[in-house]
Amino acid sequence: MNHPRTLPAPAADLADPAFWKQPPAQRLARFAELRSEPRPVFFTERRATRHRPERGFYALVRHADVLKASRLPRVFASAPGVTSPEPARWVRAVFGDSMVNLDGADHTRLRRIVQQAFTPRLLAETEASIRELAVRIVDDMVAERPDEFVSAVASRMSFEVICAMLGVPDAYRYRIARQIDRASEHAGVRRSLGARLLSPGKGLRALARMELTVARLGRERRRRPTGDLISALVCADLDGERLTYRQLGSFFSLLLVAGVETTRNAIAHALALLINNPDQHALLLSDFEKYADGAVDEIVRHSTPIIQFRRTVTTRYAMSGHTFLPGDKVMLLYASANRDASVFADPDAFDITRDPNPHLGYGGGGPHYCLGAHLARLEIKAVLRELLTRPLTLRTLGEPELGTSNFDHRVRKQHFAFDVTKP
């Protein structure tokens, strides 16, 4: 056996939900300890019994290891699933396979269909509308004086952009927003049996409703295409075949969940990061266009909105002092890789002038590298421009209310206030 059998204390055990309830600073301290271990550490999720084998994962915590595993998809596969728990076979049969969970040609075939819409060249045409949206959101904020930032600004920005790209009519948006929240609320949060019994399949029900809504939209667009992503998806030619409504549904939920939660959390973290680092805030204000791109990358590195994704080992492979075996599970901890002191000087500091800033917030650069990375940058920059270059003085009120997921670094609420004056 090449891993220890004793379980660490809950506060140090990445497989224990208690670990993810700790403040981020404590989790980051544990990642630093793990980075100094000679080899990847194994965490047990379920002990072996006479009838069942042990289940658990190796934590990949160093920048170099996460990068390598991301770029070796033949060894570290995305099938049967990159989240934990993995999607059950029946869920995949009912809801369709999402491209995040596919490898090789199956993945490429699906990714090719939407890839076009996300290239920097095509997004340049969308940039003007993203900037207009940011102006409207901050105008409304100033007029309505909300006291909670996530719902008033961060969520609205990321959700409206994706809905506009997909071509979701206004009449459907409120319903879909509620469905996404329900579908992703418990992602990566291990709940007690009691809690699971009380709300059986709440997330799946929301997903099912969302997919029915999308199938209806898909049928409309197949009859009358309107130049948006849903029309492109339903009319796409997959080597002579069409996407089924089930495939359309799973595409749609992936784009919504991947594009909305992540960017919204980055924007929400940005507010606290800038206010808590007044020197960096002042530097950004001194020349917004010069420093904004660096600030956006540093926000994503420092907050790491997606904490981790998993992979399954397909073949015997030696890396970082350990030999992985087929069937082993590994956790690619982007949140740890982004604080690796061997790559980032003073890694806990928020420094918008880092250059280079090779963070892994959007993944490690393999075939699954975030499709929406450029779009996310445009959105975060547009919101920051409106918030920071207008005569507003923003204040956070209290600490952000964080989620307890091991998957997304969610800000549930961030209370805030502002004065309309010259800073």
Of the candidate residues 179, 247, 263, 414, the single one contacting ligand HEM (CB under 6 A): 263
Q: Which of 254, 270, 319, 402 contacts ligand HEM by CB under 6 A?
A: 254
Q: Does 383 bind ligand HEM (CB under 6 A)?
A: no
CA distances from 57 to 30, 103, 233, 310, 330 (A): 16, 20, 36, 9, 5
Phi, then psi, of 274 in degrees rounded to 5: -70, -40
By the rule CB under 6 A, 361 interacts with ligand HEM: yes
Q: Is 80 in the site for ligand HEM (CB under 6 A)?
A: no
Cβ nearer to ligand HEM, comparing 255 with 313: 255
Q: Which of 111, 242, 385, 413 binds ligand HEM (CB under 6 A)?
A: 111
Contact 147, 413 (CB under 8 A): no
Instruction: Tell the residue number behind the tokens 């033949």, with chain if given.
Output: 74
Q: What amino acid is encoded at 222 in this protein?
A: R
- Alpha-carbon distance values, 342 to 33, 36, 263, 270, 285 (Å): 14, 11, 27, 25, 30
| Rg from Cα positions in the chain | 22
The encoded tokens of residue 3 equal 């891993």
**Helix 288-303 vs helix 278-286: crossing angle, to nearest 10:** 150
Strand order in the sheet with 76-77: 41-46, 55-60, 329-333, 308-313, 76-77
Q: Is 44 in the site for ligand HEM (CB under 6 A)?
A: no
Report the alpha-carbon distance of residue 296 to residue 302 in Å, rounded: 10
Tokens 């784009």, located at residue? 255
Instruction: Give the CB-nearest residue to ligand HEM.
Output: 372
Stretch that binds ligand HEM, among 211-219, 258-266, 275-283, 339-347 (CB under 6 A): 258-266
Single out the residue of 95, 309, 344, 350 in contact with ligand HEM (rule: CB under 6 A): 309
Among 369, 397, 399, 419, binds ligand HEM (CB under 6 A): 369
71: contact with ligand HEM by CB under 6 A: no
Q: Which residues contact 266 (CB under 8 A, 6 or more apart)?
A: 299, 300, 303, 305, 376, 380
Nearer to ligand HEM among residue 138 and residue 378 (C-beta): 378
Taking CB under 6 A as the binding criterion, the range among 25-33, 131-139, 255-263, 346-354 that sits at the site for ligand HEM is: 255-263
Out of 117, 266, 333, 388, point to the residue binding ligand HEM (CB under 6 A). Answer: 266
Contact between 416 and ligand HEM (CB under 6 A)? no
* Smallest separation (angstroms) from ligand HEM to the CB of 262: 3
Token representation of residue 31: 């990642």
Which range touches ligand HEM (CB under 6 A), out of 206-214, 256-264, 282-290, 341-349? Answer: 256-264
Residues counted in the chain? 423
**C-alpha–C-alpha distance, residues 107 and 98, integer Å:** 9
**Segment interacting with ligand HEM, rule: CB under 6 A, options 47-55, 206-214, 319-327, 356-364:** 356-364
Q: Which is nearer to ligand HEM, 83 or 320 (CB)?
A: 83
Pick 258 or 387: Cβ nearer ligand HEM = 258
Q: Which is nearer to ligand HEM, 259 or 347 (CB)?
A: 259
| 403 is a site residue for ligand HEM (CB under 6 A) | no
> What residues have CB less than 8 Å from 110, skipping those under 6 apart?
99, 102, 247, 251
Q: 21 vs 111, which CB is nearer to ligand HEM?
A: 111
Q: Which residues on neighbouring strands pair with residue 322, listed in sequence order?
A: 319
Q: Write out the residues near ligand HEM by the rule CB under 6 A.
A: 70, 99-100, 111, 162, 254-255, 258-259, 262-263, 266, 300, 305-306, 309, 334, 361-364, 366, 368-372, 375-376
